[in-house]
A and B are shown apart, each in its own frame.
Chain A
Amino acid sequence: MSYKNIKTTISILSVVILLCSCDHGISPKPASQEVTGFSGRITFVGTWPDSIKRTHIVVFKDPLLDSKDFNLLNIKFISREIPFGTAVYYYSSKDSSVIPGTEAFTPGEYAYVAVAQQASDELLLVRSAWFVAGVYYTPGDRSQPGKLIIPEDTFVRNIDIVCDFNNPPPQPPGGN
């Protein structure tokens, strides 16, 4: 290798460094017009069973076709607790929640939205500990659970669920 080659290398290197440095790497996401998320109303029909210790609104990304689908990576939202005995409960994903810990909600399509209850004091993330009291259905279609679709920078309202303790919905696989 001659001096000329080395000096050429240095020149090329300098150009590469300068070109690379035009970029400034990580940048902030654009400001949202509106906080992405959803809200709605939960209506409870009938008498609350005494065994209920916890009640939450839960959102799953993928459908619950198997007990293995009930896993932490598939759970995208667990609301704060709904108080025992409530008749009508208004909620918003902007409220504090167990998951995620932030106000903003990731836009996208979510396969299963439900009100789930537990008989234990501790929040357990195993399928067998949960009982589904109500499921979100697309208005006019109760044949299958409704999809929650949240576009970018959009706050979706009226994601309402009815929980009829006398007529519970079909339970996803893996329950007791």
Chain B
Amino acid sequence: MKIIYYIFFSLTLVCVIRAQSYSIYGTVTDTIGKPIANVNIVVIGTGFGASSNEKGEYFILDLSPGVYELEFSAVGYKKFKSDSIKIKDRSINVDVIMRQKAIESEEVVITAGKYEQKKSELPVSSEIIPGAEFIEYNYRNLADALRYVPGVNMTEDQISIRGSSGYSRGAGSRALLAIDGLTFYTGDTGETVWEMIPVTELRRVEIIKGAASSLYGSSAIGGVINGITRRISEKPLTMLNAFYGFYDRPYYPEWDWSGERRPFNGITLSHSNTLGKFGFNLSFTRLEDLSYRRDDFYKKYIGFLKAVYNFSSTSSIALLADTFNKRAGNFLYWKDSRNALVPPDVDNNGRIETNRYLFGIIYKNVLSDKYFLNIKTSYYRNNFKDNGTPLNESTSHLYRGEIQLNAGLTEQIVLTTGVEGNTSVVKSNLFGNPNSFGAGVYAVADINLDFPLIISVGIRYDYSKLDSLKGSGAVSPKIGLNYKLNDNLIFRSSLGTGFRAPTLAEAFTSTSSGGITVKPNPDIKSESNTTFEVGVNYIPFNFINLDFAVFRNEYYNMIEPGIDLSDGLAVFDNVLRARIQGLEANVSASVIPRTLDLALNYTYMWARDVEKNVALKYRPRHLFYSSLNFNKWNLHFGIEFRFWSKVEKIDDELVDLGIVVDGEKRVPVYVTDLNFGYSLYSIGMPVNVYLNVKNLFNYNYVELIGNLREIRSFTLGLNLAI
């Protein structure tokens, strides 16, 4: 920490001394006096702004004497515009009360397009998870929350957006995760490690569906998950989030291997403050879970730092550091269906240790009213090792840099351009010691015509080279349209292409684990796709929002793991020419305005290998989510229900070879969760308490062959902000 302070102190010395300035500050509350966090406050007509902290406080600094108007906006609240505020010779206090609104509409802002856009103006389907949900619903992991996003399903820790992925055992991903614009994929396996993201530090998470390679390059072939961290508080703010819970006994006595209710707990301590031009969010999280399965326990430690130095109101530099250490059991498959919560005897006492560190620097500069410069660089060290035979260990170093320039060419045209490069150095007994290199250049123009029609046109070129393999390039163009017929009816459509270079793991893995031996494939090639979508958003009444979309994705040279029947070894290969098409229908309704909200989401997915005319592995054909939330008298009560139809195809080879006994057992997924929350703010205590019951009916199901998902659990948590 000291070093960071020294760096920023040194930077302070070279700053220009500014003239006398004042601030506008205050508190934002709702109609019952509860503070509202993460309210966007903009000083209209200037580049100034702020965000409210967990106590609802906001501070807009460095204002010269003059007359200002403020605009307050927040998810779930009606936009509020202040009267003119005159600053003469002192700072001004402006407290605001915001009213909740029945239905969310266009105030929601998405930054996954690498600059802020209204959700309703995007040409593609998108979803948002508000940061508060991670605490209210006790999502300990970003992946847990993604299980309830329309059109998304998870196979253990592997995300599939509209059927983009099956399960590839941690090698590669078809959805790109970015946190504050820094991408989070490892240099060796290319996987997304959801568990290293400290969810209590997230302000919101945006999910963009469909190929986004024209902006993000490889790995964004199926979509983008874009996490935005909490804004730094202007005043000292310390938060404590803690929970304790336990898994219920298994439904069947045969599975009760431990004879006890297995506990889990977690604690996050964070502090945020601003000291002059320097501000920071610092947090430390410890998670422990003894698990309902044997050899599946874990202890995780997550450290997170976001430190920002504002050179001026228009330029800043930020350091983002995320460290993750985990000691865990290594549960691969069940022994059999009678021993569904214990591993096979030969896999007993499997252990894995992982240490991951990501450091990133983000420099932002509003060069003028029209130009915005964003420079990002990051280093990601990934290390893991198990105690298997043979022992698997890998260390990778991924270096990445990107320069992005946003230009408001005219009032109607925003051009986003950029260039980026990455290189990875790997030392491993699974993958050998390969290196990789990649580079990309992109340009996307969003043209806002007065009809009102928004046209988004973009193109990106990427080059990728994996060690001794032949390098390859790909061009990814896209076009999107958004037409707002009136305030209540918006049409969108997009046609895009994506590509994904194979990861080092997919090309060079050579190891054995859990009875499966994997061999390298030096002939592996990049995969590509084209995606098409048409959607409509309709608000027939002020308490109902309807959204409907149809989509079609064509995949070429799709990389999937399989068994080479000539030698029985697993290998990653370009095996599939696949087609995934379907539709999504979402309904949000405010049954009782500002009190009772209902959401229903249905997705139909037809995912086929078009050459063999068989279903793709691990893609359910029907996804259905529903939630009902009650908010009144400082009380929150919610019920969530999730249905996935039984997947048609799994890793049948593992069943046939006897590696996963009873592996053919799979069922549709019916999961119901209950969430209670109570805010003590109204009686002067800065505390929220939560009670969560997950998998209420103790339903037993698998997402991955031979892996029973979490059984019923109960959690009590609290969140304290002082």
What is A's interface to B at a CB cutoff of 8 Å?
A: 1, 3, 6-7, 9-10, 13, 17, 20-21, 23-29, 31, 71-73, 76, 99-102, 104, 106, 124-126
Contact = CB atoms under 8 A, between A and B. Distances in A.
Contact of B641 (A3, A13, A23): A13
Contacts of A9: 598, 600
Closest 8 CB pairs of A and B: A100-B658, A21-B697, A25-B700, A72-B568, A20-B670, A28-B338, A26-B700, A71-B565
Given A3-B591, A71-B565, A99-B657, A26 B670 contact: no
Q: DSSP class of A's interface residues: helix, strand, loop or mixed?
A: loop
21 contacts: A1-B540, A1-B541, A1-B544, A6-B589, A6-B591, A10-B591, A10-B598, A17-B670, A20-B670, A24-B697, A25-B699, A25-B700, A26-B666, A26-B700, A71-B565, A100-B661, A102-B344, A102-B661, A104-B336, A106-B658, A125-B567
A124 B564 CA distance: 13
B252 to A, nearest CB: 6
A159 to B, nearest CB: 18
B672 interface: yes
B444 interface: no
B595 to A, nearest CB: 12
Given A1-B541, A9-B600, A73-B656, A21 B565 contact: no
Looking at A27, A28, A72, the one whose CB has the most chain B CB atoms below 10 A away is A28
B698 A24 contact: yes
B252 A28 contact: yes
Interface in B694-719: 696-702, 708
Contacts of A20: 643, 670
A28 B252 CA distance: 8
B649 interface: no
A50 B319 CA distance: 69
A29 B338 contact: yes
Given A25-B700, A126-B567, A101 B659 contact: yes
A17 to B, nearest CB: 5
Contact of A100 (B589, B659, B665): B659
A68 to B, nearest CB: 9
Given A24-B700, A26-B340, A27-B700, A101 B658 contact: yes
Interface in B561-602: 563, 565-568, 589, 591, 598, 600
Given A26-B665, A100-B658, A72 B565 contact: yes
Nearest to A22: B697
A49 to B, nearest CB: 25
B353 interface: no
Contact of B699 (A1, A13, A24, A125): A24
Given A6-B589, A125-B566, A101 B667 contact: no
Contacts of A73: 563, 565, 653, 656-657
Contacts of A25: 667, 670, 699-701
Contacts of A71: 565-566
A57 to B, nearest CB: 15
Contact of B566 (A3, A21, A26, A126): A126
B689 to A, nearest CB: 26
B698 A28 contact: no
Interface in B503-550: 515, 540-541, 544
Given A7-B591, A25-B700, A29-B338, A125 B568 contact: yes
B697 A99 contact: no
A32 to B, nearest CB: 9
A13 B600 CA distance: 10
Interface string B640-663: 010100000000010011110110
B495 to A, nearest CB: 32
B346 A27 contact: no
B628 interface: yes
Contact of B252 (A10, A27, A100): A27
B659 to A, nearest CB: 6
B626 interface: yes
Contact of B563 (A13, A17, A72): A72
Nearest to A19: B670
Interface in B314-338: 336-338
A9 B626 CA distance: 11
B670 A23 contact: yes
B311 interface: no
A175 to B, nearest CB: 16
B251 interface: yes
Q: Which of B340, B672, B699 has the most CB of A within 10 A?
A: B699
B254 interface: yes
B255 interface: yes
Contacts of B702: 26
A3 B102 CA distance: 13
Nearest to B658: A100
Contacts of A104: 336, 661
Contact of A1 (B589, B643, B666, B696): B589
A136 B252 CA distance: 41
Contacts of B567: 72, 124-126
Contacts of A72: 563, 565, 567-568, 653, 657
A64 to B, nearest CB: 14
A128 to B, nearest CB: 11
